């Protein structure tokens, strides 16, 4: 079973078949990823996104639920539910996709 769920912001570039709007230069994806540690969560997220024909360029971790709360973040119930789902399914959940304009 996974050790924790990490909140990750992944920047992706363009790639044929990526499903992003034609005019987008890339996108930012908020992901919740289960892993024994942060490095595993990042590796799994990058692998899943590559399988989905996305081109990950950079990953920023905002830590676990506990780390985010300790830093003063306010986390609503919808976000917590997505984190629980990632933990329960030992999965990567893409919660939000924000295309970048050219």
Residue 44 forms part of a structural domain: no
85 domain residue, yes or no: yes
Instruction: Please give the Cα distance from 17 to 55 (Å, whole number).
Output: 10
For residue 17, being part of any structural domain is answered with: yes
Domain encompassing residue 7: 1-34+50-63+74-92
Q: Is residue 6 part of a domain?
A: yes
Give me the pLDDT at residue 32, please: 98
Nearby residues of 91 by Cβ (< 8 Å), 6 or more positions away:
33, 34, 85
C-alpha to C-alpha distance for 43 and 39, rounded to whole angstroms:
6
Number of structural domains (the chain) is: 1
Sequential pLDDT tens for the chain (102 residues)? 458 999 999 999 999 989 999 999 999 999 999 999 999 999 999 999 999 999 999 999 999 999 999 999 999 999 999 999 999 999 999 999 999 987
Q: Whole-model pTM?
A: 0.92
Coil/strand/helix, residue 68: helix
């Amino acid at each position: 079973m996974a050790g924790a769920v990490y909140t990750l912001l992944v920047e992706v570039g363009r790639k044929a078949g990526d499903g992003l709007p034609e005019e987008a230069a890339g996108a930012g994806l908020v992901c919740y990823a289960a892993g024994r540690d942060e490095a595993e969560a990042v590796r799994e997220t990058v692998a899943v996104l590559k399988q989905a024909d996305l081109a990950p360029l950079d990953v920023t971790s905002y830590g676990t639920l506990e780390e985010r709360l300790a830093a003063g973040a306010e986390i609503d119930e919808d976000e917590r539910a997505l984190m629980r789902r990632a933990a329960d399914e030992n999965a990567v959940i893409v919660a939000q996709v924000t295309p970048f304009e050219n």
